[in-house]
Structure 1
Amino acid sequence: APATRLTLSRVRLPSLVLFLFKIPIIASVLFFMAMGKKATCRASFEKVLERYYFDSSRVDCDDVFYGYTRPMRHSGWVRGAVEIVRAMRDYDSSDDARRLDIPVLILNASHDKIVPRPEVENLQKCIPHAEFQTISDCGHNPHEEKPDVLLGMIDDWLKRNQKAL
């Protein structure tokens, strides 16, 4: 098996920032300073849509804005977000992935700017029975941008692998 490490640690941060991120109150302040009101600002959100969707006209932008910013209107959201990032940053799932002994479907959107194709290909290398498929003309959120295509791909894959599952 290839010596591949599956983590979410694409971003290389200075040692001091990493150290400070381990202190919850400081991590919350740093995160809030970085996000601030930008997270719930409609103009900033429009730029986010450009990163997450290949064609944002396929989704109801008002619904998406409300859905994604709703948690940010509650106290404690910054701390929760920081804890998620901290927990995921150093978790290496390579060994878990290599132990999978059932068919696995890995889907990647052709225009995903959040999870680059090489990372998805890395995942495929770690999983012995993985099948890789690409959703064309789609960004990071195929469940919102192309739900019928996504469900069709999953349904076809499940039918082909029914006995093995």
Structure 2
Amino acid sequence: MQKIDTYVEEQFADLPETEQVVALKEEIKDSMEEKAADFMLEGKAEEDAVNKAIVDFGNLAEIKREFQLQNAPQETSGKKKKQKEDMSTLNLGFSICGSGLIIALLVFVNMYYTPQEIWFVFPTFAILWWPVSMAFVWLKVRKRKVMQR
């Protein structure tokens, strides 16, 4: 069934010829040929059976995309680790600045409306959990980075 072979080869032409790609293509070809054989047993002509098998099999682009995603972590694991480090630093800086602004707002509201009572200290403890938790994440990421060296 040359048409199935040609179709599958065209769909996977942009992928490198690795063992996994060859095995995937063979599996897809076998499945399509079995489907076409089933259609021929039902009385369809060979060309119609092959066309129906290709259509019924579905979109190979989706299968190819999933295959690429499964094999991508080997190539992009360094990028993801770098992004995680950058994000943890960014999150820590954002949490420190955000907490500082919120606490400054509380101090202003406290001093402007009720200067005789100092109450801003109590919500400050709750707000400080944000940068503290981000600091622990940042330290965890740095520790992993040091251990991998």
TM-score (norm 2): 0.28
The structure richer in strand per residue is 1
TM-score (norm 1): 0.26
Q: Which has the higher contact order (CA 8 A, sep 6+)?
A: 1
| Structure with the greater alpha carbon radius of gyration | 2
